[in-house]
Structure formats: structure tokens, C-alpha cells
Amino acid sequence: MERSLYLRIVAAAAVATSLAAASAGHAAPKKTATTKSKLHRAAKPTGPLPWCAEELETLPNGLCHIDGGQRDGRRTLVVFLHGAIAKDVDWQWLQARALTRQAKQSKFEAIFARAPLGPSGFVWPGTAAAQTTSEQALIDDWQEARTFLEKRSGEPYDEVFLMGFSSGAYFVSSLALRGRGAFDGYATFAGGSAGWRQASDAGPKAPVYVGVCANDRQTAGHSRAFGGALAARGFPHRVDEQKVGHMFADVHVAHALTYLRNARKPARSSAAASD
């Protein structure tokens, strides 16, 4: 797709999709006679807001830590890349709170990352030139946050996955195809691309989960094409279509964790057998 069109799509969809993701799985209230009454509207923000919601931990480098608990002694960390977010709004809180609910459901910890701030807001690198400028610094930030958490707990994570939604999904797809960041697995929701840079065929290929939002006409085809690119290049992967809109739905995130965790089991078993 044309890059300018892509940026317009993710920016325009961010509010609606964030609200949808944050409220997924919750029933809408019934309309009553008071529905038409005047509603109190909070004043719009007039300046930068804290990146992390007040109930979340802000790490030393400014990223947010979400602790959904762990299960069976297995420690899973997800580095999550949000969708496009405008300046001076609290849309990031909605996405982080949706991820918090999902972390509690699937029992994992998460680092809620932050995209570079450009003229239109926080958007992940969407061109090879943008990646050259900021990609390594972003990966270093994620690693710094992970190292801080592991030092504090006194033990390493068993697995670390990189996941992305919308703008974040397009960036994750490029990183996955090039094996950047040394993650144990990748997942994309509502987005994905064959990459703006040549994929790497060297070394082992980490598993990739592709969440196709079938009701989202803007990204469904891109996600399917990304799945095709993974198959053509020999990546272990799962393409999972769900009838949801432009969002990172609870069902997609749960399926992603199940797939990526199971994909890691053979490697863990082989390592144990060789000891």
C-alpha cells in the first residue's frame, strides 16, 4: 500500500480501535430514558500527558511495566508496540489498560513501549529510512527495560515475545522477517507487511503469529499477505482469522500466547535433553 495512505489509516483509526480494544469482551449498557440527558464532558488535554496510566509502573527509561502474573513457574515477557497515537492525548492509556486485562487473562508480564514522536504523533518507523534512523535505539530501549526487570527479580524470563498492533504490527512484521531484536517469537494484530527491507535467510527463524482482523478491510489483506511471505520464506507461523475490526482482540492475544509458548516447547525440551 502507499505509505501516505497507510499513515492516514493508522492515525484515523487509532481512537476508535483503542476504545474498541479496551472494551472488548464487555457488554454494552442498555439504553434508558436518561440516555438523552446532558453528559459531563471532561476538558480536553492542553499539553503532554504521562505516558503510563497512573495504575501502571513507569520504568526508569519511561516505558510502562504491566504485571499480569505468571503461571506454572514459567516467566513470559511481551514487548508490545501500540497503534498510532496523536500528541497530547491519553489514547495510550486505553491500549495499555486493554493489554493489562489480557496479561491477567493469559498470565504474562509486558513492557508497553513508546514509538518515536513525530509531527502527527507517536508512530512506529514505516519506511527503511525511518528504521535506519531510530530502529536500533528503540530495540536498545526495550532491552534496557527487560534487563532492569530481570535484575530486579533476580532471574531471567523464560521467553520474550514482540507483539504489535496496527502501526506497531507493520513495524513488528519488518523486524520479524529480518530477525531483529533476538526475540523468541513475534505476533502482529491488524497489520503486517512483507517488509521495506530485504528479509534475512540466515540463522534460525523465530515463530510468528499473524492475527487477521477479518472485518477490517484496510488491514486484513495486508495480514494475509504477510502470512504468505512467512510461508514462502520458511518461517514457522500461524495465520489466525477472527471476525473482529481494527483492534488487538482478547481472542487474538490469547491465541498468540498459546501458539508462541507451544512453539517454544521443543526448543526448551531439546536443551534440557542435552544437559
Segments making up each domain of the chain, as ranges = 3-21+48-274
pLDDT of residue 105: 96
- Tell me what percent of the chain is helix, strand and coil, each rounded to the nearest 5: 40, 15, 40
Check residues 133 and 43 and name the one with the higher pLDDT.
133
Segment 1-24, tens digit of pLDDT: 334 434 444 444 443 443 444 444
Distance CA 205, CA 145 (A): 24
16-20, 59-63, 67-71, 173-177: segment of lowest average pLDDT: 16-20
pLDDT of residue 193: 86
Check residues 11 and 201 and name the one with the higher pLDDT.
201
Segment 65-78, tens digit of pLDDT: 999 998 778 899 99
What is the CATH number assigned to the segment(s) 3-21+48-274? 3.40.50.1820
